Copies of this chain bind each other. A is one copy, B any other.
């Protein structure tokens, strides 16, 4: 159910087509909820059948026509209700940690490389987060309330990213000793 809510959240301010949603999920909200275009298109159909979204075909020049979706009153109400439902505690799922349970002399180099790659990816992500923060969330207390919520999500991403990079460093340090032990 939660992808539906992420989609509807993305439509709070602006109507969007499935294609536009899929792209916007690569930025902003997609930092906290990811989905492929197939998932999005399927969900959009279900949500408009349910009456939570309205659709409207938009003619375009030089591009294929698109179908733009927007929240209905029912949809907005459903979102308002959803926020009050206590969501079950988050399960984290990460291959990397399961792989670490399989650490051995043979694969330590590979795991170090994988951690290093994750670190690089996270650094890029953090760079993007900080750019967004500087551009739009300089003084969070002055923002309208909903934007403050978005800011807190962004801050969560930033804090989490910083922590992950620190962990990568600690892990690489320990694994380096494992790989070539100093006598």
Q: Judge whether A145 and B105 touch: CB under 8 Å.
A: yes
Q: Which residues of B contact A80 (CB under 8 A)?
A: 102, 106-107
Convert A138-157 into 0s and 1s, putting 1 for each residue whose CB lies closer than 8 angstroms to a CB of B.
00110001101111110111
* Interface residues of A, count at CB 8 A: 69
Q: Which residues of B contact A98 (CB under 8 A)?
A: 2, 5-6, 9, 29, 32-33, 153
Q: Judge whether B90 and A96 touch: CB under 8 Å.
A: yes
Q: Give the residues from 33 to 55 in chain A that come closer than 8 angstroms, CB to CB, to chain B.
A: 33-34
Residues of A within 8 A of B (CB): 2, 5-6, 9, 12, 29, 31-34, 79-80, 82-84, 86-87, 89-108, 110-111, 114, 117-118, 121, 140-141, 145-146, 148-153, 155-157, 159-160, 162-164, 166-167, 170-171, 174-175, 177-178
